[in-house]
Amino acid sequence: MRSIADIQGANRGSPPNFVADAKAALGEFFGMGVFIFLALSGVQAALEAPTGLPASRGPTVSQIQSVGFSFGAGITVGLFLCGPISGGVLNPAVLLSLVLSGNINWLRGILYLFAEMGGAIIGAYFANFVTAHELQGVNLLNPGFNYAQGFFAEVLMTCTLCLTVLFIIVDKTPLADFAPFVVGLSVFMCHIVGTPIDGTSINPARSFAASIVSGKWANHWIFWFGPLIGGIFAYCIYMTCKILTTEPQGEELAKQAEQQEREEKDDKERQDRYNRNAHSTQIPDPNAYNSNIDHDRTYNTNSVPQNTTYVQNGHPDPQNPGYSTNYAQNTNVPANINPKTDTNPTGSGSNHVNGVPVSIANPKTNV
């Protein structure tokens, strides 16, 4: 089992730094403004579209789908915009779960909260201005639902959203590379479920901004306590799963270090074997001289030039050319010439072996 302190230590985000945290909060402000503007504008268009049914019956199926798509696509765009700057939270309930789990420090959490509230209000005012009608995206309990149903719906839906963030994005699973789409899909499904109940909040900043613009505050406490308690429940579930299913961080790091050391050792052994094989099969340079033989008379025996005739006792031996260590290029040279004693003092290119004159090539001119 793994302790809470160990889990939070592994998830620990950057330490408080006012300048860095303020820059990140600025990105959160703009991302939240874009998200709320797109989402509430889409809701306005969906709910004002003529349906031919009395409004007292609540939103139609197509309106519910349009509302869900507006919020899902809106938060996806907002996350793409602010993700590289702030990491992309855009929700005070999600922010609470991230602060509790240690992924965001307390200073950044406070700055994010004010940035999200401010950005949501600006986005809601813009949505209300461009639509030129009363803002429709206000969270209110629909007829036929009571406080308890609305409250627990917000708790459960927000808990689902926060768990998606914690288990997929914070734990850096392969789907974390598609974080905006994952969060957008989760938000879409929550709105499909919650829109017939209370318009779906799962985001206190979104509910607060719509109420600020419209002036409607009925049952507003539901849209604060429900999402925030849902974020706390998500944190508790996440920590419980980590404690019961994950080994202590120290043991995990030790195993990772041991595995890395073993892989490095295997790589070194493979490289050594490759180097030995390459050295044993190395092809000599055909232009290299043999340092053990007089360079003025003979070449390296490991590199045999073309058009070389070998002789033994004055006679060529084409069947066994590899017996001799002394040869010259483009000439017949007896194998028993001693390069130290049978030299040509005149340098005329001829010599005598066993009383028989032999012509040899001058290595200084025939190389």
pLDDT exceeds cutoff 90 at 69: yes
Which pLDDT does position 295 carry in this prediction?
46
Query: Which residues does residue 351 pair with via DSSP β-bridges, in sequence order?
Result: 358
Q: For the segment 260-285, what is each residue's pLDDT rounded down to a tens digit?
A: 888 888 888 888 888 888 776 555 55
Structure tokens at 221: 């406490």
The answer to whether 10 and 180 have CB atoms below 8 angstroms apart is: no
pLDDT exceeds cutoff 60 at 326: no
Determine the length of the chain.
Answer: 367
Residues contacting residue 108 through CB under 8 Å, at least 6 positions apart = 13, 14, 16, 21, 24, 25
pLDDT exceeds cutoff 90 at 207: yes
Q: What is the band of 346 on the pLDDT scale with cuts at 50, 70, 90?
A: very low
Higher pLDDT, 49 or 88: 88
Which pLDDT does position 296 carry in this prediction?
46
Cα–Cα distance, 126 to 360 (Å, whole number)? 101
Kind and range of the H or E element at 163?
helix 147-164
Higher pLDDT, 67 or 246: 67
Three-state SS for 3-28 is CHHHHHHHCCCCCCCHHHHHHHHHHH
The CA-to-CA distance between both ends of the chain, in Å, stands at: 78
Q: For the segment 8-39, what is each residue's pLDDT rounded down to a tens digit?
A: 666 677 889 999 999 999 999 999 999 999 99
The answer to whether 168 and 175 have CB atoms below 8 angstroms apart is: yes
What is the DSSP secondary structure assignment for residue 312, as one 8-state letter? E
Helix (H, G, I), strand (E, B) or coil at 309: strand
Structure tokens at 362: 């001058």
Which pLDDT does position 65 carry in this prediction?
94
Q: What is the band of 181 on the pLDDT scale with cuts at 50, 70, 90?
A: very high
pLDDT exceeds cutoff 60 at 317: no
Which pLDDT does position 211 carry in this prediction?
96
Burial 46-74 (b: 16+ CB within 10 A, else e): bbeeeeeeeeeebbbeebbbbbbbbbbbb
pLDDT exceeds cutoff 60 at 318: no
Higher pLDDT, 179 or 286: 179
Which pLDDT does position 286 carry in this prediction?
54
The answer to whether 138 and 199 have CB atoms below 8 angstroms apart is: yes
Helix (H, G, I), strand (E, B) or coil at 351: strand
Which pLDDT does position 108 carry in this prediction?
95
Helix (H, G, I), strand (E, B) or coil at 332: strand
- CA dihedral of residues 6, 7, 13, 18 (deg, nearest 10): -70
Higher pLDDT, 93 or 288: 93
Query: Which residues does residue 333 pair with via DSSP β-bridges, in sequence order?
Result: 310
Residues contacting residue 341 through CB under 8 Å, at least 6 positions apart = none
- Domains of the chain are 4-51+58-248 (1.20.1080.10), 288-367 (no CATH)
What is the DSSP secondary structure assignment for residue 165, as one 8-state letter? I
pLDDT exceeds cutoff 90 at 359: no
Residues contacting residue 217 through CB under 8 Å, at least 6 positions apart = 211
pLDDT exceeds cutoff 80 at 172: yes
Q: Which of 85-99, 235-249, 318-332 has the highest mean pLDDT?
A: 85-99
Higher pLDDT, 292 or 159: 159
Q: Mean pLDDT, to the nearest integer, of 210-231?
A: 95
Neighbours of 13 (CB within 10 A): 15
